[in-house]
Amino acid sequence: MLLTVENLSVSYGNIKALHGISFEVDQGEIVCIIGANGAGKSTTLRAISRMIPAETGSRILFQGEDLLEYPADKVVTDLGISHVPEGRRLFENLTINENLKLAAFARSDEDGIAADRERVFSIFPRLKERINQKAGTLSGGEQQMLAVGRAMMSARKLMLLDEPSMGLAPLLMMDVFSALKDINDEGTTILLVEQNARMALQFAQRGYVLETGLLVLEGPSQELLEDPEVKKAYLGG
């Protein structure tokens, strides 16, 4: 297993957001977690990238290493996990070029950085056209491309994606997901969380269903797509 999450609990103050969830992601997989707004999807990703603390008793293993021993910046640089956060969170005061450079801040393999840059531009040619434009002036689709591009520059083992479809028109959404498929084909494992359950399950091989801080269902995407409960709650009947 690439990533093993065991009994993960997270609280915001007195409010418990995750009640000890467990799941796994294997090398090379695309796995999705679907659920309604407030179910704890973003919290799960934030706990893995160490943006928020996990409670005692939680265990996260990445390639056999105890991930909770690492601070957030080392999760990226030492373990190789990138995170495209909710709402993209680009540095809108910086240009596309600067956003991409910043994502490679801690890397010193100049050749690798240059190769990854070229790969980002070949997947998202639009970013190259606007390389010196401030990220804040980009359209929603372009911002999502930059957010994914930034993650590609920072780490390539596991990519955590928080609602990549959010705010995108259907055609653009297809573009972004086909780019993600390419990235996955190149060896990056993907864990994504989505409210758009249909899109996520068509894209991923396996899925988990998160409800108010608990994982209630899991299985291959095809099974979940046909599950009556999932259909009723997440796929619009």
Tell me which residues touch another protein (CB under 8 A). Answer: 46, 49-52, 71-73, 76-77, 82-83, 85, 87, 89, 91-94, 98, 101-103, 105-107, 150, 154-155
- Count of Cβ atoms closer than 10 Å to residue 148 Cβ: 24
**Which residue, 94 or 225, is less far from another protein as judged by CB?**
94
Measured CA to CA in angstroms, residue 152 lies from 61, 145, 194, 217 at distances of 22, 10, 20, 30
**Which residue, 72 or 174, is less far from another protein as judged by CB?**
72
Residue 140 CA to chain centroid, in angstroms? 17
Shortest distance, position 192 Cβ to another protein, whole Å: 16
**Which residue, 49 or 58, is less far from another protein as judged by CB?**
49
Shortest distance, position 90 Cβ to another protein, whole Å: 8
**Which residue, 51 or 216, is less far from another protein as judged by CB?**
51
Shortest distance, position 75 Cβ to another protein, whole Å: 8
**Which residue, 53 or 125, is less far from another protein as judged by CB?**
53
**Which residue, 105 or 174, is less far from another protein as judged by CB?**
105
Shortest distance, position 13 Cβ to another protein, whole Å: 12
- Count of Cβ atoms closer than 10 Å to residue 225 Cβ: 17
**Which residue, 98 or 223, is less far from another protein as judged by CB?**
98
Shortest distance, position 174 Cβ to another protein, whole Å: 26
Cβ-count burial 43-77 (b if 16+ within 10 Å, e if not): bbbbbbbbebebeeebebbbeeeebbebeeeebbe
Shortest distance, position 87 Cβ to another protein, whole Å: 8
